[in-house]
Structure 1
Amino acid sequence: MSTPFVSPATLGDLVKREYDRGYTRETVTLKAGAAYPMGAVLGRITASGVYALSPAAPTTGLEGAEIACAVLLDDVPASTTDTQAVVLVRGPAIVAEGALVFDASVADDAAKAIKHQQLAAHGIVVRQVA
């Protein structure tokens, strides 16, 4: 029996509407040590300005990142140094709920809803779309 072909996720699977790429996107620095998949929900570490996966609650060393404020637009492999990446940082924009990737601490629907609200404060609206 053959294995069905499953195409990899694309940016179109994640970003459904975007006002103007020159306005909504920025190149930022991602914290070293982790692989970041496209659609990762990120927060900004206050002390350094570096972005990391947005945890559900304040975390030592990641203070400020618990507030979701960006969505990663491409896969970024793990690195031992901080890495540059393009993220969606402001709207108006609509992203697909099913394409978002959360920190492991964002484990239930209530925690995800909080992240959705935090993104909405930046004009990034999360919708259930096909």
Structure 2
Amino acid sequence: MTILVQESRAAGFILSSLGNLSMDSVTLAAGPALPAGQVLARDAGTGHYAPYDNTSDTLGTAAAILYAPTGVRSEPEHAAVVSRLAEVIESELTGLDAPAAVDLDSRHIIVR
């Protein structure tokens, strides 16, 4: 029997949200392909969002969650993110750690 694995899909990590009130359009930094549910941080120097990294001085504060998967980006691109007022599924998030969950909670994004 062949086992099929479903890849991340847009908004597959959301339990509940307030539609457009929970969403923002941001500039995603150039970089590798990212799955829906990737925890992101905002680089204060460029204003671009990139994968959260708690060991980084510039990307060490979780600020949003990527709404839909992206391909490899050679230049910054616009992307939709969940940035406030939502409940999300912990197991569907990529890059989440305890400090990131606290950061997201301060933005009223509750990790369940």
Aligned counterpart in structure 2 of residue 83 of structure 1, from 61, 77, 84: 77
Q: Secondary structure at the match of 1:13?
A: coil
Deviations 1:67-93 (A, max 9, x none): 0010001000011111111000111x1
Question: What is the aligned residue count?
Answer: 112
Q: Which whole-Å CA distance do the structure 2 matches of 1:76 and 1:7 have between them?
A: 16
Q: Which amino acid aligns with 1:8?
A: E
Deviations 1:15-59 (A, max 9, x none): 0011x2111101111110221111000000001110000101224
Match of 2:102 in 1: 117
Over alpha carbons, which structure has the higher Rg?
A: 1
TM-score w.r.t. the length of structure 2 is: 0.91
Q: Which whole-Å CA distance do the structure 1 matches of 2:44 and 2:7 have between them?
A: 34
The offset of 1:12, in angstroms, is: 5.2
Q: Which whole-Å CA distance do the structure 2 matches of 1:12 and 1:70 have between them?
A: 13
The offset of 1:6, in angstroms, is: 3.5
Q: Which whole-Å CA distance do the structure 2 matches of 1:114 and 1:7 have between them?
A: 28
Runs of 4 or more, structure 1, over 6 Å off, are: none
Structure 1 portions without partners, runs of 5+: 107-111
Q: Which amino acid aligns with 2:15?
A: K
Q: How does 1:94-113 map to 2 (within 5 A)?
A: 94-102=87-95, 112-113=97-98
Q: How does 1:43-62 map to 2 (within 5 A)?
A: 43-59=41-57
Q: % of aligned pairs identical?
A: 28
Aligned counterpart in structure 2 of residue 38 of structure 1, from 18, 32, 36: 36
TM-score w.r.t. the length of structure 1 is: 0.79
Q: Which whole-Å CA distance do the structure 1 matches of 2:12 and 2:23 have between them?
A: 17
Structure 2 portions without partners, runs of 5+: none
Q: Which amino acid aligns with 1:21?
A: G
